[in-house]
Amino acid sequence: MTVELYTKGASVWVPDPEAVWASACLLQDLRPGDGHLLLRLGDGREVQYPVSPPSGLPPLGNPDILEGENDLTALSFLHEPAVLHNLRVRFLDYSSIYTYCGIVLVAINPYEPLPIYGEEVIDAYSGQDTADLEPHIFSVAEEAYRTMIREQKNQSIIISGESGSGKTVSAKFTMRYFAAVGGASQQTSVEERVLASNPIMEAIGNAKTTRNDNSSRFGKYIEIGFGRHGDIIGANMRTYLLEKSRVVFQAPEERNYHIFYQLCAGRELPEMRALKLDAAEQFRYTSQGGEASIPGTDDTADLERTRSALTVLGVGSDQQMELFTAEDRSLAVFSKLLGVERAQMAHWLCHRRLAVGAELLVKPMSGRQAGEARDALAKSVYGQLFGWIVRRLNTALRAQRERPRSVIGVLDIYGFETFDRNSFEQFCINYANEKLQQQFNLVSPMGLFVACISWSPPREGGPPGAAAVQCSSWSIALIEGPLGLLVCPGVQGED
């Protein structure tokens, strides 16, 4: 900070226990040798604020004319209070959840449906220069689409943020956008199939956590393939790091994967009776979290949604039943469903084989060891099923007529709940450079970034987003180079 800027009338930000940062006005110039600033706070109080120039000075406020700027990089002073204040003004005063930060789009989770994703909005962004339009997730999608068409180069959109911040919803909106702008020229059902993959992946890979009722418990990278006319001709999905431990253990107030509750809820349907299921409360693997149902969620209706999406993707009802017949609490039913002899299953769940020299010994396991073996089997079966479904979806989504000319990849990545500047930079290095470039083999790995932000947990009854821009534990990562500045939530905490 330049000491000369601390003149009478200038505004500064000072730490505040309530509001995190409070604006204050300088009542006199800072003179050489001064050990404090004379400030007037927002409530009218005059205070002497200790300083130690040149480095120990409070951050300067931006000129009023820049209040609510739609691009953070346009601010004269870019620091934590300036960023938080600007996002807060945009969110609370302008009802804008989106703000640019150079090539990064910052998205605040509104936690309520907004009327800003309809077809008329897609039309407004389609074919437009995004610099002329308000920040929006569609502007990121449009930018990727236009650049891909113009430069015939693959593009990528990286969506990151903490759990519950809105990554999956943002990724879905980008796909909806591509389906709308890339589907009109040819009457193809590819875009329908791309969208149909969402409910299926949510059923088998999402679960209720204490932070998010519909939390994706796996990383997802979806590549949409476009033909020479810019139309969607196929898609491919890669998943990684599925949280398999959830299959056998859930923390209080959390659930196992949605599909289990959907199947239990639909157990009375004629076609489901063969599964011989009970209520979810009756099974160890679906009841450890306590509450088996989620207010506002109808598991039976969701089962229908999952099944019709499977049908759209060409998984017939017989095959669907094969998928669902994976587990049951009763050994007899379980063995029958898996097609394994019951006595053998019982034996090998309770015994293990040891090689001692040239001899093979069969030893009984303790109760704990047998429980662990059962859990390991359950996790493995679920992991295999998950992989099978992803492969099956990819077959249904694969481009049929021609090889895609170019692709847009959307990476929806979770698990950075406590990332600070260093770990975020590490994330960028790992995912933006190495993984995207080498593993995903993208031509243009430094794509567009969407940073989703929210507060955690959402505050009941509070004004949406208010806490988001006040949370003291947030950190700001200043990333040099093409990323510009990214605002990311720091460790969990409420104001």
Ligand X SMILES: Nc1ncnc2c1ncn2[C@@H]1O[C@H](COP(=O)(O)OP(=O)(O)OP(=O)(O)O)[C@@H](O)[C@H]1O
Separation of CA 206 from chain center: 11
Say if residue 9 carries a ligand binding annotation. Answer: no
What is the spatial distance between Cα 52 and Cα 85, in angstroms, rounded to a whole number?
Answer: 25
Among 114, 355, 356, 360, binds ligand X (CB under 6 A): 114
Residue 381: CB minimum distance to ligand X, A:
23
CB contact burial 102-124 (16+ within 10 A = b; e otherwise): bebbbbbbbeeeeebbeeeebeb
Q: Which is nearer to ligand X, 154 or 168 (by Cβ)?
A: 168
Q: Within 440-459, which residues bind ligand X (CB under 6 A)?
A: 452
What is the spatial distance between Cα 332 and Cα 336, in angstroms, rounded to a whole number?
Answer: 6
Judged by CB under 6 A, does residue 110 bind ligand X?
Answer: yes
Say if residue 182 carries a ligand binding annotation. Answer: no
Structure token digits, residue 158: 């990286």
Q: Within 287-316, which residues bind ligand X (CB under 6 A)?
A: none
Among 23, 128, 188, 214, binds ligand X (CB under 6 A): 214
Q: Which is nearer to ligand X, 396 or 411 (by Cβ)?
A: 411
Residue 451: CB minimum distance to ligand X, A:
11
Residue 297: CB minimum distance to ligand X, A:
11
Q: Which is nearer to ligand X, 116 or 399 (by Cβ)?
A: 116
Say if residue 61 carries a ligand binding annotation. Answer: no
Which SS3 state, helix, strand or coil, does residue 60 take? strand
Question: Which sign, positive or negative, has the C-alpha torsion 86, 88, 91, 93?
Answer: negative
Calculate ∠ Cα 46-50-53, nearest 5°: 125
Separation of CA 164 from chain center: 7
Judged by CB under 6 A, does residue 130 bind ligand X?
Answer: no
Which residue has tokens 């519950």? Answer: 164
Say if residue 161 carries a ligand binding annotation. Answer: yes
The interaxial angle of helices 331-338 and 342-350, nearest 10 deg, is 110
Looking at the DSSP bridge assignments, the partners of residue 225 are: 234, 407
Residue 19: CB minimum distance to ligand X, A:
25
Q: Which is nearer to ligand X, 243 or 304 (by Cβ)?
A: 243
- The interface region with ligand X, picked from 47-55, 103-111, 312-320, 376-384 by CB under 6 A, is 103-111
What is the spatial distance between Cα 163 and Cα 432, in angstroms, rounded to a whole number?
Answer: 20
What is the spatial distance between Cα 48 and Cα 36, in angstroms, rounded to a whole number?
Answer: 6
Residue 97: CB minimum distance to ligand X, A:
6
Say if residue 227 carries a ligand binding annotation. Answer: no
Say if residue 166 carries a ligand binding annotation. Answer: yes
Q: What is the bridge-based pairing of β-strands 206-207 and 215-216?
A: antiparallel
Which residue has tokens 């007529």? Answer: 401
First-to-last alpha carbon distance for the chain, in angstroms, is: 28
Which SS3 state, helix, strand or coil, does residue 182 take? coil
Judged by CB under 6 A, does residue 250 bind ligand X?
Answer: no
Judged by CB under 6 A, does residue 138 bind ligand X?
Answer: no
Q: Kindly write out the interface string for residues 395-424 of this chain, putting x where it contacts ligand X by CB under 6 A and - elsewhere.
A: -------------------x----------
Name residue 416's amino acid.
Answer: F
Residue 216: CB minimum distance to ligand X, A:
4
What is the spatial distance between Cα 480 and Cα 429, in angstroms, rounded to a whole number?
Answer: 12
Q: Which is nearer to ligand X, 79 or 217 (by Cβ)?
A: 217
Residue 184: CB minimum distance to ligand X, A:
24
Structure token digits, residue 146: 């236009």
Name residue 376's amino acid.
Answer: A
Q: Kindly write out the interface string for residues 145-184 of this chain, putting x where it contacts ligand X by CB under 6 A and - elsewhere.
A: ----------------x-xxxxxxx---------------
Judged by CB under 6 A, does residue 357 bind ligand X?
Answer: no
Looking at the DSSP bridge assignments, the partners of residue 50 are: 36
- The interface region with ligand X, picked from 11-19, 110-118, 185-193, 382-390 by CB under 6 A, is 110-118
Judged by CB under 6 A, does residue 249 bind ligand X?
Answer: no
Q: Which is nearer to ligand X, 165 or 250 (by Cβ)?
A: 165
What is the spatial distance between Cα 356 and Cα 190, in angstroms, rounded to a whole number?
Answer: 56
Helices (H), 182-247: 190-205
Say if residue 143 carries a ligand binding annotation. Answer: no
Judged by CB under 6 A, does residue 239 bind ligand X?
Answer: no
Structure token digits, residue 64: 């009023």
Q: Which residues are catalytic?
A: 163-164, 168, 212, 215-216, 415, 417
Residue 136: CB minimum distance to ligand X, A:
10
Say if residue 163 carries a ligand binding annotation. Answer: yes
Q: Which is nearer to ligand X, 21 or 177 (by Cβ)?
A: 177
Torsion angle, CA of 126/132/136/142, rounded to 10 degrees? 30
- Residues in contact with ligand X by CB under 6 A are 109-114, 161, 163-169, 212, 214-216, 414, 452
Annotated binding site: 161-168
Annotated binding site for ATP: 161-168
